[in-house]
């Protein structure tokens, strides 16, 4: 589904991603964990074309997407839920879905409609006339995910969905990610490793812009360094 | 100062109605130009000093259509569309390169276009003032009401102006495209991540803003001389209106354009030669008390 091969990304003069390689296969949930400033967000921004890598190759469904404009990458089937949710302050939940709705040419059947979103997130039906600024953090996060689904992604990039949310809400997001998994592949960036491990098939550990370690979730749980650094509280 | 004549006018319903009407007429044309300016400033973050030149081009296009076809209705449609197309070309080739840059670069480029457009206009239409005859449709006896005489064209201008205010407001707040424009103003990068071609949205917004300036220019034609440099006064006044009203607010632009028109039409009676000072003093006060403008949202 997604191949990232040896990418190098700079922000101005700072060298953030220093030769990163990762892969997401069809139907997988893959997590990317690492500490603050390790390059997790920049990895996603590189894939989206928001921070295009200077070197390296990114392929989606076998086609090279390096250097393409973000909106074309979205139209090819990648959805993006950024870290700070980025809810448009003046628009209602329903407005958000309307502007994000894309034609359904890629998928032969189904596809997301506003009605299907409301079945999936009943809470958002109640909030449809509310503006983003009138919602709680959890509701905004739900809206941010739901909005990106309107583009009918085959791969969803989600950046720290649990950040700032109460433990009870995080639990409900475990179920959410598991049910989304039926419909698409997911690349999940997290600092909360226990959340990430409970929903993912595989994981990568990133540090200083490089992949330090990768393997199945069981491998990661058993790895002492990973355990000490990211799971021990 | 001539306070007495101002007080006399305020005491006489006929004179007062006349001044109100002439204030509204000033406001309508300014509103159209300022609303385009406000849209471009609010969505693209661009200080477009060449906006007044687009108004001027709208007036010259109207002159040309009137000279060749002679139908004001056709001119009112063709001239703004022509200006919109000029705007799209201008944005595609030049303006898009200064987005996000320091305001000085934007000032430099758009100011350069004021000079370029003025010279192009002189080159094509000559250096002398032009004018069009009042279109035949409006050559009919003025309406007399509340003791004042209102030219028929004034009524038309007021109706068109009000219809356009409503249309722009409906478009921006009720349609999907309006919502996309709103989202582009607050977070273009996120909008792009929802699959929207934001550079294209920018071009359309610039084109629409230009078209509004063109409508202003076309509607002003029967009232004013068409002359190189006519855009300059308009751009300054439009900026003042946008600053006081709050950028990106159509309602604010409309209300402040009306205030501006009335301050001028009454100010000229009581304080001839100084009437413009009022609006600038008012702007200074607004900027001190409410820097985001009367109707603008305070963005943190």
| Beta-sheet strands, E only, within A83-201 | 155-159, 185-190
What angle is formed at CA B194 by the lines to CA A118 and CA B46, rounded to 5 degrees? 130
Name beta bridge partners: B226.
Answer: B130
- Picking from A60-64, A110-114, B215-219, which range would have the lowest pLDDT averaged per residue? A110-114
Residue A48 burial by Cβ neighbours in a 10 Å radius (0-12, 13-18, 19+) = buried
Which residue bears the tokens 């424009």? B181
* Interface of chain A toward chain B, CB-CB under 8 angstroms: 48, 50, 69-71, 74-75, 80, 82, 86, 88-91, 95, 98-100, 102, 147-148, 150-151
Give residue-wise pLDDT tens across range A88-131: 988 999 999 999 887 655 554 568 888 888 988 888 899 989 99
Give residue-wise pLDDT tens across range B63-105: 999 999 989 999 999 999 999 999 999 999 999 999 988 889 9
- The residues, any chain, with a CB within 8 Å of residue A159's CB and separated by 6 or more, are A40, A41, A44, A80, A81, A82, A83, A189
pLDDT of A205 over the 50 cut? yes
Give me chain B's average pLDDT, please: 91
Residue B92 burial by Cβ neighbours in a 10 Å radius (0-12, 13-18, 19+) = middle
**Rounded Cα gap, residues B107 and B102, in angstroms:** 9
Q: What percent of chain A has pLDDT over 90?
A: 51
Three-class SS state of B273 = coil
Query: Domains in chain A, start-ordered, CATH in brackets?
Result: 2-86+155-231 (3.40.50.300)
Chain A nearest-CA residue for B188: A88
**Rounded Cα gap, residues A100 and A165, in angstroms:** 25
Residue B107 or residue B294, greater confidence? B107
Residue range B203-228: average pLDDT?
A: 95
Residue B131 burial by Cβ neighbours in a 10 Å radius (0-12, 13-18, 19+) = middle
ipTM reported for the complex, 2 dp: 0.91
**Rounded Cα gap, residues A52 and A10, in angstroms:** 9
Res A34: pLDDT: 87
Which range among B142-151, B195-204, B288-297 has the greatest average pLDDT? B195-204
Res A107: pLDDT: 54
Name beta bridge partners: A8.
Answer: A18, A55
From chain B, the residues in CB contact with A148 under 8 A are 193-194
Say which of B179, B197, B199 has its CB closest to residue A99: B179
**Rounded Cα gap, residues B201 and B194, in angstroms:** 13
Three-class SS state of A22 = strand
Res B300: pLDDT: 38
Say which of B182, B193, B197 has its CB closest to residue A48: B193
Residue range A32-52: average pLDDT?
A: 91
**Contact flag A95-B179 (C-beta cutoff 8 Å):** yes
């Amino acid at each position: 589904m997604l191949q990232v091969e040896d990418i190098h990304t700079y922000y101005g003069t700072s060298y953030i991603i220093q030769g990163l390689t990762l892969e997401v296969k069809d139907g997988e949930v893959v997590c990317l964990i690492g500490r603050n400033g390790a390059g997790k967000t920049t990895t996603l921004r590189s894939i989206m074309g928001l921070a295009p890598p200077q070197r390296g190759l990114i392929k989606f469904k076998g086609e090279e997407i390096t250097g393409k404009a973000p909106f074309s990458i979205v139209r090819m089937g990648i959805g993006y839920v950024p870290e700070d949710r980025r809810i448009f302050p003046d628009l209602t939940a329903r407005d958000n879905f309307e502007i994000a709705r894309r034609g359904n040419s890629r998928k032969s059947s189904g596809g997301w409609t506003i009605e299907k979103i409301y079945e999936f997130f009943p809470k958002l039906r109640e909030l449809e006339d509310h503006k983003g600024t009138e919602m709680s953090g959890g509701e905004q996060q739900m809206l941010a995910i739901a909005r990106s689904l309107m583009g009918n992604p085959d791969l969803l990039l989600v950046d720290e969905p649990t950040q700032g949310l109460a433990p009870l809400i995080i639990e409900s997001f475990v179920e959410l990610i598991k049910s989304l998994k039926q419909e698409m592949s997911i690349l999940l960036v997290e600092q909360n490793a226990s959340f990430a491990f409970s929903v993912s098939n595989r994981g990568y550990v990133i540090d200083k812009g490089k992949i330090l370690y990768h393997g199945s979730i069981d491998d990661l749980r058993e790895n002492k360094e990973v355990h000490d650094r990211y799971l021990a509280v | 100062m001539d306070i007495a004549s101002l007080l006399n006018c305020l005491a006489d319903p006929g004179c007062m109605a006349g001044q109100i009407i002439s204030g509204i007429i000033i406001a309508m044309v300014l509103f159209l130009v300022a609303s385009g300016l406000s849209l471009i400033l609010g969505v693209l973050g661009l200080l477009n000093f060449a906006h007044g030149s687009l108004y001027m081009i709208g007036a010259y296009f109207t002159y040309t259509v009137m000279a060749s076809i002679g139908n004001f209705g056709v001119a009112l449609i063709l001239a703004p569309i022509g200006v919109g197309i000029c705007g799209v070309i201008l944005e595609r080739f030049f303006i898009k390169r200064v987005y996000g840059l320091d305001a000085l670069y934007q000032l430099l480029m758009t100011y350069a276009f004021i000079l370029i457009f003025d010279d192009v206009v002189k080159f094509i239409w000559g250096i002398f003032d032009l004018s069009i005859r009042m279109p035949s449709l409006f050559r009919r006896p003025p309406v007399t009401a509340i003791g004042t005489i209102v030219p028929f064209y004034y009524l038309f201008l007021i109706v068109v102006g009000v219809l356009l205010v409503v249309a722009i407001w409906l478009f921006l707040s009720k349609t999907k495209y309006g919502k996309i424009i709103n989202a582009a103003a607050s977070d273009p990068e996120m909008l792009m991540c929802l699959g929207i071609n934001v550079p294209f949205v920018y071009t359309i917004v610039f084109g629409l803003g230009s078209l509004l300036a063109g409508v202003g220019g076309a509607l002003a034609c029967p009232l004013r001389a068409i002359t190189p440099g006519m855009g300059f006064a308009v751009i300054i006044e439009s900026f003042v209106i946008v600053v006081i009203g709050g950028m990106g607010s159509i309602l604010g632009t409309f209300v402040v354009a009306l205030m501006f028109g009335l301050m001028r039409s009454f100010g000229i009676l009581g304080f001839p030669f100084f009437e413009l000072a009022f609006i600038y003093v008012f702007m200074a006060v607004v900027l001190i008390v409410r820097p985001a403008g009367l109707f603008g949202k305070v963005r943190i």
